Amino acid sequence: MSEAVLEVEWLGRIEYGLAWEHQKALAAERAASPHLPDKLLLLEHPHTYTLGRSGRFQHLLLDEASLAGRGISLYQVDRGGDITYHGPGQLVGYPILNLKRLHARRGLRTPDLHLYLRELEEVIIQVLAEFGLAGWRYQKYTGVWVSTAAGPRKIAAIGIRVTSRGITYHGFALNVAPDLSYFAGIIPCGIQEHGVTSMLELTGRPLAVAGLLPSLTAAFSRVLGLEAAVVAGPLKEIGNVVH
């Protein structure tokens, strides 16, 4: 099997803890067996807040009773970044990549984490462009932003972890058509001066997360230099995502 193969799997809507454990298991497998192909998990979560390694609990604005009343789960996790929201209508991607191998193909002696973050941003920017939206990078903050009449708004959050063996997990979350009111329960990514938005809010078009899977898979393969030749799970039924 070519080392440049990317296995893509659509998990549908899955509880955050289960997806996290699945990521760690896949990462451990790839650390033990470096020949295994890279993988991209695509999914949605039920309503969830996650707090990264550099997160502050004061950026969570709801108490335990309020979380329970709204059916929101809370996880303190091992990715970078502060607090963020995941929920229905948001396309979440968890790349499980051998970053050492990936970047060695480009002549890099060690994995470049900053390059990897910029690559994930570029994937989202290319997907947004297909829907007539101009995403851009904000020098101060990781993620993808758009310009609105009310100023810059974040449309995609990124938080990653790279193990000592150079295996990535966690990833990105693109706001396709989530209920944005859930972001009011936190200070998203600890950024107080700017809000968040979604593709639905910007385009006014009804959008389904599954409808973005072909575009996202193609952009990810293109930017990372991988070939999505193995597609697992119900993603096969959505259309031809191999480019």
Catalytic positions, written as ranges = 189
Q: Are 71 and 88 in contact (CB under 8 A)?
A: no
Burial class (CB in 10 A: 0-12, 13-18, 19+), 126: middle
Closest CA to 159 of 83, 221, 80: 80
- Residue 10 contacts residue 234 (beta carbons within 8 Å): yes
Distinct helix (H) and strand (E) counts, the chain: 6, 12
Rounded to an integer, what distance in angstroms lies between the CA atom of residue 174 and that of residue 191? 17
DSSP for residue 128: H
Of 5, 37, 11, residue with least CA distance to 213: 11
Q: Which amino acid is at 90?
A: Q
CB-based burial, 80-114: b 16+ in 10 Å, e otherwise = bbbbbbbbebbbbbbbbbbbbbbbeeeeeeebeee
CA distance 214 to 89: 16
Spatial distance between the Cα atoms of 193 and 199, rounded to a whole number of angstroms: 20
